[in-house]
């Protein structure tokens, strides 16, 4: 059975784990109605539109 001869250091362990974590910023699009920045496939918080339809009333 394979057993490590020495303890793996925290730095070496964390370097190996960090290779799989890649942080990316979310895509931001402009709302077609009010041109406010908005996440895709979500109702616009400033005008209440989703695409070209009004989904919620925003006062």
pLDDT 10s digits, 24-57: 888 999 998 899 999 999 999 999 999 889 999 9
Domain interval for residue 36: 24-59
The answer on pLDDT for 59 being more than 80 is no
28, part of any domain:
yes
- Check the CA dihedral 30-41-27-44 and report its sign: positive
Q: Are 43 and 56 in contact (CB under 8 A)?
A: yes
Q: Is the residue at 15 inside a domain?
A: no
Q: Does some domain include residue 4?
A: no
- Any domain includes 7: no
Query: Quick check: is 58 in a domain?
Result: yes
> What's the confidence (pLDDT) of residue 8?
95
How many structural domains comprise the chain?
1
The pairing of strands 53-54 and 37-38 is unpaired
14 located within any domain: no
User: Which of 5-9, 16-20, 43-47 has the least mean pLDDT?
Assistant: 16-20
17 domain residue, yes or no: no
Nearest to 27, CA basis, from 44, 40, 16: 40
Residues across the chain: 59
């Amino acid at each position: 059975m394979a057993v490590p001869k020495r303890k793996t250091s925290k730095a070496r362990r964390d370097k190996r784990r960090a290779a799989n974590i890649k942080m990316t910023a979310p895509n931001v699009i402009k709302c077609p109605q009010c041109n406010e920045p908005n996440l895709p496939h979500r109702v616009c918080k400033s005008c209440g539109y989703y695409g070209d339809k009004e989904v919620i009333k925003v006062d």
